[in-house]
């Protein structure tokens, strides 16, 4: 079901609140001061049952220039605006400022309401209508209906209601599938219930019992209860105004401007990159690093404007900017914002957020600006690919990618799968979470590994390669988990970029080539082990026989790396074929007898106690056997 929010806008004392009361029968001014002074100070909220049966939320905003920040907090989430102009006064300063804000926030639907029409004659009304048409020519209100009404007599209200109902059919449906977001506009406490926040759900949905988080403070909480239009509900969806009773959060820990959203999904930032339209009505040029007030959602934050592609901005111009904030902001890509001058406070511009988690940028950095243009273009797959490319060194999960994207992203799994099929990104399983890295990142790591191995092979022509662990430490450090690293190595082996030899990594083209002298040493070593069988020679004994000790060590280590010799202890090696026979003998001996003693193994092998001891300790270490008192059994 489509949910609609209607908002008022217009100059002070032009009858916005009175109009809402005439339409709904309810008063939106609730503060004593508002009633005493006859002006709206804070936001007013109510609802409206339309003839079609739809129930629309209504936000009544203050018109006084001193309360523009309150107006901005309410107007940012509306679908249809009722721009209220008093027939006896016509267009006034706050009419224009409110209208400029509506344009900056990209409000697309509106109706112009001429209130107090009973106070003027038809000729005056006709003149005001012409003034309005000229004022809004070329804007989203150019062809908007103009309704002359009287909230006191009820004249024109039925026709206005009919048009409002028609407009609700033309409003685009909200993003109910995206993740839940609610900018907070009010916070209070109810005895027996605790902290309650109110606001308009701008995307997704929220359920009773759901775990949520308060941003930017990142306070985890739980939804205890939800009300929409004063009625308890189990679920609230995008486009609905609601009150949420949240658990384990004190009323002083939440304020207007905070955002309630899904747990661990959003990231506050002190810098945002934006496209800024500087209003034609601005009184002077915008200078680099000028201090301004940022309005986003329901928040107001002081910041400085860093101009990225211009030295200064004249009224009516557009520019890429980085806003450096004095307090963290929780935003998403494509959110709209408004800026006002620091002092005196006038609305001077606004636009859309391109990068809500910006990195510090320099002026006129061409590469940075090109990246902003790509993000601004809205080409989802390109933005998604680029985001993963930038995050790859952090081995991002889907939730990390969504955070960095800074926007609701429907069907992200399908889009990720498409990039995988195009070989632009690679997926690795990591527990119950998948990790995605860009192919360019993998290619960079390949280049590093190949460079290390190439150098190693040249310096160590008889060594088979470098251990996987050493490569991991040199190329990846501690940033990658072992499971992800193993999968990455498997990928590179499958793609024949690398080869493995046991626990060693080598280049596919690498081969061990012995010199004539080294071949002779190799043959002597193997011959010595063949003769000795189960009482093999010590390394130190063989080394003494060879005059060329340097070549002997290189050849011996090469035979061990090759797997022809198996190391059992520091100075005890066996030929692989003999080692396999010994293993079989041990398994058979224990299987037939139930256990095996050191002496029994010594006798079966016809060897010395020293070798038998080295073997049983080795088999214990590899968990083939385990010791029970003075016997061994199979592990």
Residue 611: the pLDDT is 95
Query: What 3-state DSSP class applies to 405?
Result: helix
Does residue 36 have a pLDDT over 50?
Answer: no
Residue 402: the pLDDT is 87
Percent of the chain with pLDDT over 90: 74
Q: Does 391-397+420-513 carry CATH code 3.40.50.11260? A: no
Residue 571: the pLDDT is 86
CATH of the structural domain 181-262, one choice from 1.10.10.10, 3.40.50.300, 2.60.40.740, 2.40.30.10: 2.40.30.10
Does residue 74 have a pLDDT over 70?
Answer: no
Residue 31: the pLDDT is 38
Q: Which CATH superfamily hosts domain 5-170? A: P-loop containing nucleotide triphosphate hydrolases (3.40.50.300)
The answer to whether the 391-397+420-513 and 516-634 domains have the same CATH topology is: yes
Residue 448: the pLDDT is 96
Instruction: Please state, rounded to an integer, the average pLDDT across all residues of the chain.
Output: 91
Residue 70: the pLDDT is 67
Q: Span 80-85, mean pLDDT?
A: 96
pLDDT in tens, 615-625: 999 999 999 99
Q: Span 276-287, mean pLDDT?
A: 96
Looking at the DSSP bridge assignments, the partners of residue 223 are: 246
Q: Which of 386, 292, 288, 290 is nearest to 333 (CA)?
A: 386
Residue 430: the pLDDT is 76
Looking at the DSSP bridge assignments, the partners of residue 65 are: none
Residue 28: the pLDDT is 63
Domain extents in the chain: 5-170, 181-262, 269-372, 391-397+420-513, 516-634
pLDDT in tens, 146-191: 999 999 999 999 999 999 999 999 988 887 888 899 999 899 999 8
The region of weakest confidence among 372-386, 412-426, 510-524 is: 372-386
Phi and psi, residue 589, nearest 5° = -60, -45
CA distances from 113 to 45, 230, 316, 455 (A): 19, 28, 28, 79
Evaluate whether 25 touches 75 at the Cβ level (below 8 Å).
no
Percent of the chain with pLDDT over 70: 94
pLDDT in tens, 508-564: 999 999 999 999 999 999 999 999 999 999 988 888 777 778 899 999 999 998 899
Q: How confident is the model at residue 465 (pLDDT cuts 50, 70, 90)?
A: very high
Cis check for the bond before 216: say yes or no (omega within 30 of 0).
yes
Q: Where are the alpha helices (DSSP H) in 111-234?
A: 122-135, 157-170
Does residue 63 have a pLDDT over 50?
Answer: no
Q: Where are the alpha helices (DSSP H) in 300-438?
A: 366-377, 380-391, 398-405, 412-421
CA distances from 118 to 85, 150, 224 (A): 13, 6, 48
- Secondary structure (DSSP) of 206-219: EETT-EEEEETTTE
Residue 175: the pLDDT is 77
- Domain 516-634 carries which CATH code? 1.10.10.10
Q: Count other C-beta atoms under 10 Å from residue 546's C-beta.
A: 17
Provide the CATH topology of domain 269-372.
Elongation Factor Tu (Ef-tu); domain 3 (2.40.30)
Evaluate whether 293 touches 345 at the Cβ level (below 8 Å).
yes
Q: How confident is the model at residue 66 (pLDDT cuts 50, 70, 90)?
A: low
Residue entry with tokens 């429907």: 410
pTM score, two decimals? 0.74
């Amino acid at each position: 079901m489509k949910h609609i929010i209607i908002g008022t806008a217009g100059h002070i004392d032009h009858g916005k609140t009175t109009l809402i009361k005439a339409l709904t029968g309810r008063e939106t001014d609730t503060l004593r001061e508002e009633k005493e002074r006859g002006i709206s100070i804070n936001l007013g909220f109510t609802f409206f049952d339309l003839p079609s049966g739809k129930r629309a939320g209504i936000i009544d905003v203050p018109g006084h220039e001193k309360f523009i920040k309150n107006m901005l907090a309410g107007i940012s989430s509306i679908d249809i605006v009722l721009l209220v102009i008093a027939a006896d006064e016509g267009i006034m300063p706050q009419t224009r400022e409110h209208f400029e804000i509506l344009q900056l926030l990209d409000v697309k639907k509106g109706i112009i309401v001429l209130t107090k029409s009973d106070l003027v004659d038809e000729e005056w009304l006709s003149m005001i209508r012409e003034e309005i048409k000229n004022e809004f020519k070329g804007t989203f209100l150019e062809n908007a209906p103009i309704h002359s009404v009287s909230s006191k007599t009820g004249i024109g209200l039925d026709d206005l209601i009919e048009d409002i109902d028609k407009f609700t059919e033309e409003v685009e449906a909200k993003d109910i599938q995206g993740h839940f977001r609610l900018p907070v506009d009010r916070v209070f406490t109810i005895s027996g219930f605790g902290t309650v926040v109110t606001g308009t759900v701008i995307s997704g949905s929220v359920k009773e019992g759901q775990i949520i988080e308060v941003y930017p403070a990142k306070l985890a909480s739980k939804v205890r209860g939800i009300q929409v239009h004063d009625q308890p509900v189990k679920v609230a969806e995008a486009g609905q105004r609601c009150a949420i009773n949240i658990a384990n959060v004190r009323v002083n820990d939440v304020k207007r401007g905070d955002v309630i959203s899904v747990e661990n999904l959003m990231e506050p930032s002190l810098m945002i990159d934006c496209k800024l339209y500087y209003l034609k009505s601005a009184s002077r040029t915008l200078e680099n690093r000028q201090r301004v007030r940022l309005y986003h959602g329901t928040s107001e934050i002081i910041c400085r404007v860093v101009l990225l592609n211009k030295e200064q901005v004249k009224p009516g111009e557009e520019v890429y900017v980085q806003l450096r904030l004095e307090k963290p902001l929780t935003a998403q890509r494509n959110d709209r914002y408004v800026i006002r001058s620091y002092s005196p406070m006038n609305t001077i511009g606004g636009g859309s957020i391109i990068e809500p988690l910006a990195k510090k940028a320099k002026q006129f950095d061409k590469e940075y600006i090109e990246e902003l243009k790509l993000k601004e273009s809205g080409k989802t797959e390109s933005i998604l690919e680029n985001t993963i490319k930038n995050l790859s060194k952090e081995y991002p999960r889907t939730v990390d990618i969504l955070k960095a994207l800074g926007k609701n992203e429907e069907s992200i799994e399908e889009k990720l799968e498409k990039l995988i099929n195009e070989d632009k990104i690679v997926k690795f399983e990591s527990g119950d979470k998948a990790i995605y890295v860009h192919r360019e990142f993998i290619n960079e790591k390949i280049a590093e590994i190949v460079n290390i191995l190439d150098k190693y092979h040249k310096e160590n022509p008889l060594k088979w390669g470098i251990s996987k662990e050493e490569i991991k430490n040199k190329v990846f450090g501690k940033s990658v988990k072992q499971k992800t690293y193993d999968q990455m190595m498997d990928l590179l082996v499958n793609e024949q970029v690398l080869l493995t030899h046991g626990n060693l990594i080598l280049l596919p083209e690498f081969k061990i080539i012995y010199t004539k002298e080294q071949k002779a040493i190799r043959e002597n070593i193997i011959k010595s082990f063949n003769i000795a069988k189960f009482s093999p020679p010590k390394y130190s004994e063989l080394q003494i026989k060879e005059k060329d000790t340097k070549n002997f060590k290189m050849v011996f280590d090469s035979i061990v790396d090759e797997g022809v010799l198996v190391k059992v202890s520091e100075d005890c090696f066996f030929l692989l074929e003999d080692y396999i026979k010994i293993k079989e003998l041990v398994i058979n001996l224990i299987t037939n007898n139930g256990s095996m003693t050191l002496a029994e193994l010594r006798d079966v092998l016809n060897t010395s106690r020293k070798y038998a001891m080295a073997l049983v300790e080795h088999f214990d270490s590899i968990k083939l056997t385990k010791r029970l008192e003075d016997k061994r059994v199979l592990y």
